[in-house]
Structure 1
Amino acid sequence: MKHSADDENEVHDVARFQDAARNVVTPVLRLPADTALAVVNAFAEIVRNAKRSRVATTPDRDGVVRSQTFEEGDVYMVEAPFDGFFADRYLMDFYDVEQRGICSRMHLHTGLRLVRMMTGPDTQIRVSSLSPFEVTDVPGVTPFLPRTFQDTLPDTPEDVTRTRHNLVVPPCSFVDMQIPRGVSHQFNAVGPHAVIDSVHPEESIETFRERMSGYRMTAQTVFLAEDLPPADTCVNLPT
């Protein structure tokens, strides 16, 4: 999947890229505003504490640095893989794209992911892909259906046009997304209260397969754009 496993900014040709499958989105629940805020803040505080921790910011005996940074937000490897258990789990404290002024890039991973997106009050997450989303809808169980819309991927070469499919995680909600290996996705939080709980079931397998030298978010990532686009390419959400 990667040309150079340890390249932290490897970019593939967006004009020729085709998704290997589709992302599957499952709305899980809606919460009262005060409950949602308490849950999101509790997860975010774990990530923030890790940034201040000498242990979490220092390689352990397996070379794992638990506190890391990705362009979507700060991350903490709350559960690391070990011999006989090749999955790991990350928490991500999202950046607010309006506050930062830039959006994250469309990208893909060399291994599959399961992410649970959680939002608090006055916060939405715009999820994007180059393929349409499949949304789980079980009557009587699925609590809501997220809004979807299409636009044009902004960060492409001058002669390239790609349709971007978008889905909006509303405030005070939990939404899961199953991301198959090699499928494009892009997360941007619009608002201050958003976290992700992300399980990576192939992490150590990827390390051996891709011949990576360590466990890093960027080591398993392939980008589909050179630069981070401006905030106005991801903050505008339909009402």
Structure 2
Amino acid sequence: MDVPREAARIEKELRAQADPVRSESERRYLKSDFAHIGVPMGPLRKIAVSALRTKPGRADLLALAEALWTTTESGRPVHETRMAAIEILVRRVALLEPDDLAFAERLVRDSASWVYVDHLAEKVVGGLVLRDPESAAVLDRWVGDPDFWIRRTAMLALLAGVRAGAPDLARISAYGDALIGEREFFIRKALGWVLRELTKKGHADWVRDWVAARTGTISGVAIREAVRHLPPADAERLLAAYKAR
């Protein structure tokens, strides 16, 4: 693959779909300082994955993701090319190796927004960890990282196992305990999100018991998400205990 040429083609095709009204609306919604072209996710995804028709190997995949991620306009990162970089990594996560968690970590640290972090966390980092469980040891380091986006990634990476029917309950519990006192909204939300999805996958009793033991410390954001799909009686009892603490 001619990586610079392919990255330029993707950017050109994205710009051909430019919608200035959408661009401004999206920039305001995301509170973004990046350059926005204004391309909906459907066309963006189609343009991005067209690069995969040539069946690139791991090296070309990473190089293309890097080229798209670092594309700039007037010195500012371009939102759509960053999303395209994530899309190609998600679609070919099977090509990635455990060592590529370092690459994913760099992208997360350079993200500063949930719109990039959440896809990288669950689909890229989570996909790698699900395939190679030993690499989850990296998440044990990340959950205590000073960067809250890295901490959020550690938690949300566990969603891949939850959705696949193979939840890492030990890590969910340990990370939950490590993060339960956080004041950062995005951390509280991540904990509640994982607990909510765990309930949907048939672990309602586990979630009920875990939350019941922590109604004195769990945040309102997290508990409201956690009980969303519990049986009504359980949800009401947990919320009452939380409010009465």
Calculate the TM-score normalised by the size of structure 2. Answer: 0.25
Relative to its length, the structure with more helix (as a share) is: 2
Calculate the TM-score normalised by the size of structure 1. Answer: 0.25
Q: Which has the higher contact order (CA 8 A, sep 6+)?
A: 1
Relative to its length, the structure with more strand (as a share) is: 1
Structure with higher Rg: it is 2
